[in-house]
Every structure is written in C-alpha cells, then in structure tokens.
Structure 1
Amino acid sequence: MHTESCVVLKIEQFDSNAVFRLIELSESVGWDYDEQEIHTILSSGCIYGHKNRDGRIVSSAAIIPYDTNIASIGMVIVSPDYRGLGLGKEVTQTCIDRVSTDTSIMLISTEEGKPLYERLGFKTVDVIHKFLCEKFIPNLHDSTKGFTIEYYQTADFHKVKELDSAAFGDQRSTFLLNRIKQCKQCVVVKNQYHEIIGFGLSIQGPINLILGPIVAPNDYIAASIVNALASNHGGNLRIDVPSGHSEFMTFLDTCGFKKVNEPPIMIKNSATMPKRNKELFGISAQVFG
C-alpha cells in the first residue's frame, strides 16, 4: 500500500485529456479499457477519480445517467499501490451523489468489490453470465424464414431506441447514439412486414469483439444476430448474457463460447431489477449495465 494519505488525494472529474492515463490505470489491474470505450463513457456520462502528487490517476469510477429512472456505475478501479486508503469508497460515493436519490443505480460487481458496494447500500438482485470465445463456430440449423437481418440505417434509430428501452428498462438516447458511432457493426432484424423487431451491435475492444446490446423477441432471432455479428470475425469474442435465457446460452456453448464468470448485478434505491420485457440477450458492457 502507498504511504500517501487519502486527504492529499482529492477527487476530480476527468475529461478527454485523461484518457491515456485512465488506460494506464485500467491496465494496472488487468482490465482492457481502450481509447474508444473511454470516449464513449465520457460522452455518455462522467468519470471521477484521484490523482497522486505526480499526476498519475490512481482511482476511477464512472456514472452514466440514463434518460429517466436509471443510472449505471462502472469502471471502478483503484491502483494496486493505493488500495486500503478508502479511495474506492470515496469515488463510488461521488458517483452516487451525482444523481438524485430517486434514481435507481445499478452496477455489475466483482467479487472483491461486493462488500464495498453492500456498505454503500447496494443489494444483489441477479447475476450476469459472462461468456468468452476463442473461435466462433456458426451453428444455426434453420433458415431465417420470416425475418431478415440488415445493416442499420440512421432512420432506424427511433425504433432501435424504443426496443432498447423496453428491453433494458429505461431510455438510453445519448448512450445509444454514442455506442452506434463506436460500433464495428450494427444490424437490425425486420419481420415480413419490414418492421424492426430486434437489433445487435459489435464493439471491437483490444482483446475481444464485444457483442451487445442484443435485443430480440426470441432465442432463435437472438442467435441469428450473434451469427451475423460473429461469423466473419477471426478473433476472440465476448458476450454478457442476463439471466433467463438458458436456450440462448446453450446455443452459445455449441458455437464455442464458454461461461467464465457470473458477476452479481447490484442495485441501490430499488429492491428489484428495472422492469424489462426479457428481450435483452446481451448487455452493452458491464460499465453500461
């Protein structure tokens, strides 16, 4: 542990000038935030943290407020040299104070972070199923009869936002716009009447192609979206799946995905998860809830 006092290290809000120092902090704990991901966080919410006397960032936490009732906390990192000083609690509390007491705040915790969040009033309400894949194996037996998968167009945004809101539990207008700008690929699913009934994004990270959000009316269409996003990708993949999609997770297993973790979903200012329609098959990323 570092000998600097917590009193010396003051909380500040970071901007785009801090991106590369935030990447250094992320790397110090083995996480893989990159420049694009941090820019999306900054343009969708706020990042706070501590700097040491040398100007190095030694803690961080991000808060992303959505349109009405929900905010998400993520990117909670404390440099290994500065643990035990209360920095994680202080920076997380700063994020909590950023939104109203009526806002339900959600986060996806590490096991190490869970006791801290419990002390701050968060309660575990569910888990996320984290899947990784080194080589994707397409495995759909039937044709896409009754629906088509097409590339996203700007005119599709209103319907994509509507579908995302019902699946996630709140509108995320600013975040979705920023995420679509960042994505490697975005597809929409249309039924026989040319109505959009689902969508999916892929985000290229330093290690994995991240699949999500994925919103679909059923397991098969969700699987078809994964197939469309992953089939031409030769590298590693990741998808984080909410509970309640056992058939979809079985499909992922047949495609080469392996479940590696079940991090807890925790919420403050609410006893339950936000109301969702069970059509969210892959979350955007843990920082975004």
Structure 2
Amino acid sequence: MKADLTELDQLDIPGLIDLSESVGWDYDEFEVRTLLESGRVFGHKNSAGSIVSSSAIIPYDTKLASIGMVIVHEEFRGLGLAMEAIRKCAESINGDRSLMLIATKEGMPLYEKMGFKTVDYISKFLCDQFVPVKIQKHDGLFIEDFNQSDFAQLVDLDGAAFGDRRSVFLRNRISQSKQCLVVKNNNGEIIGYGLSIQGPVNLILGPIAAADPDTAALIAEKLALHHKGKLRIDVPEGRADFMSYLERSGFVKTNTPPVMMKNPAAMPQRDNSLYAIASQAFG
C-alpha cells in the first residue's frame, strides 16, 4: 500500500479527526487547531487522499519540543509510517532540542528503537461525577479569572514549572480554554494558575501549576465545580497529596503512561510546582 508523507494544515482537520476516531481517541476541531497553530503536523495520505498516519511536534521557546498525536490507521501498520513521521517532526525544528513524548504501551517499542528513554510517569485520572471536598481556607490568596495583563507572569510561572517557556502554546491554549484561573497573593503576584479545556468526552483540567498541593487542589476544584459531565486530569508522578485529593473528589486512576525523552534523555529542570500537564500531546 502506497502512502506519501506530507505536512498537514487546517484543511486536513476533518481527516485528522477521522484518523483519531479510528483508534478511539477523542481529538476535536479545537484541539487539532491548537496543535496546528502551536507547532507542525505531518502525516501520510493514501492514494485516495485520506490521512492514514499523523505525528505532531510543538517546539517550545528554547530547548524542548513535545511530540504527540502519533497515530497510524490500523490498515497501514507495520510499514514504518510512524517512525518516518516522527523523524520528519524532529527534522522540522531548529536547534538541538530535547524531544519529549508520552507513550502508549503499543508505541513504547518504537520509541525505544528511536532512542527515547523513560524519564518519568504520568497518572491519568478520570471522573464521572465530581464531589467537592472541603479545602482548608487560604488566607491572603485570591483566585480570579485570567486577564491579558497576567500573561507575562503566567508564562514565567509555567516555564519554571514545566522546564521551558511555552509562550505561543499558552496563548493558543488560553484562547481555547473554557476557563483560565490565576491565584494571586497579597502583593498581586501570581503563585498558581490552571486551565480547563472542553473536549468531546471530558472536561480536561490542566495545566495546573501551584506553590503547594492545597493551592493546586483549590484551582482544580474551582475549574471542576459546576461542570456537569466527565472530567480528566493527567498528573506527574510524586504528587501523592494532590492525587489523594483527586481520589476523594471522585477521580479514579486509569493508566500510568511513561514520559520518554531524547537528546538528552533527561527531564528538564523543574521547580516542583507542576500538578497537572496540559495533555498527553502537549506535555
């Protein structure tokens, strides 16, 4: 079967959604558009012009790029399409960046073959019905809706939490979000923030960055509180207190996929304030 590798664009959004649905993933128009506006997407098309593979790369501001939406249609597996698309992604960015991805169980052998190494794990939590938990009052903290004047501080806070500044992605993600909240102290400094994204199945909570687990829980609760429907949040390892709060609120851990990196195979320097990632495509 012949399939040609090409760069995909806005006109390919319906085809990418169809490809996602073919493997049971729930990408929608808004999520795919954010991928395209924040990075580049490559994929193979068959002789009929249908998209049969995809791989996205989102380069962040300095030293890191995230790879996501690695999908191959069932009928075109075993032909090396995923490896070819991922390599094209890596070749498309400037500089010697570290590459990060969150692997599926099926994808791990391919990534290991390409030189990626496991450096961390993410815990995926799902919730059918959110149950508010009484959180200890935070004197001197103020939680409010994001304002454009907060953007520079938010990018700095996220950069320290994530390990690289993500200004283009955050601008696009905030625009996509259902809600974006910031937590400020008495001096008006932002010490935490969080986003919620409405997907076709779940309201996704993340990224969330905060000074401590209680502040992270406060943000998560405000984002989830009035939502009638399913919720999802992906939490980095080592967040036992926050995970305990999530479980008391009705979340159930369903999967623990690995975070894998290449060039070099080490996690970026983080300040221990990341409590939820944006998504498995964006890291």
Whether these two folds match at TM > 0.5 is yes
Identity percentage over the alignment? 55
Corresponding letter in the other structure for 1:226: A
Q: Which runs of 4+ in 1 moved over 4 A?
A: none
**In structure 1, distance between residues paired with 2:55 and 2:225:** 34
**Which structure 2 residue ranges, 5 or more long, are not aligned?**
none
Cα deviation, 1:67-91, whole Å, max 9, x if unaligned, reads: 1000000000000111111111111
Cα deviation, 1:197-219, whole Å, max 9, x if unaligned, reads: 11000000000000011010000
Note the C-alpha offset of 1:148.
1.2
**In structure 2, distance between residues paired with 1:102 and 1:15:** 25
| Superposition TM-score, scaled by structure 2 size | 0.98
| Superposition TM-score, scaled by structure 1 size | 0.96
**In structure 2, distance between residues paired with 1:106 and 1:240:** 16
8 Å contact 1:167–1:276 — kept in the other structure?
A: yes
**In structure 2, distance between residues paired with 1:86 and 1:140:** 51
Q: Show the counterpart of 2:139.
A: 145
Q: Show the counterpart of 2:191.
A: 197
Q: 1:160 and 2:154 equivalent?
A: yes
Q: Show the counterpart of 1:78.
A: 72
8 Å contact 1:101–1:269 — kept in the other structure?
A: no
**In structure 2, distance between residues paired with 1:193 and 1:65:** 33
What secondary structure, in the 3-state scheme, does the structure 1 residue paired with 2:191 have? strand
Q: Show the counterpart of 2:36.
A: 42
8 Å contact 2:128–2:250 — kept in the other structure?
A: yes
Corresponding letter in the other structure for 2:169: F
1:92-111 correspondence runs (5 A): 92-100=86-94, 102-111=96-105
Corresponding letter in the other structure for 2:263: N
Q: 1:122 and 2:113 equivalent?
A: no
**In structure 2, distance between residues paired with 1:217 and 1:142:** 15
Q: Show the counterpart of 1:213.
A: 207
Q: Show the counterpart of 1:232.
A: 226
What secondary structure, in the 3-state scheme, does the structure 2 residue paired with 1:288 have? coil
Cα deviation, 1:76-111, whole Å, max 9, x if unaligned, reads: 000011111111111111112123462000000001
**In structure 2, distance between residues paired with 1:216 and 1:284:** 14
**In structure 2, distance between residues paired with 1:195 and 1:85:** 52
8 Å contact 1:140–1:224 — kept in the other structure?
A: no
Note the C-alpha offset of 1:194.
2.0
8 Å contact 2:135–2:214 — kept in the other structure?
A: no
After superposition, the CA RMSD in angstroms is 0.9
Note the C-alpha offset of 1:126.
0.8
8 Å contact 1:197–1:216 — kept in the other structure?
A: yes
Note the C-alpha offset of 1:140.
2.5
**Which structure 1 residue ranges, 5 or more long, are not aligned?**
none
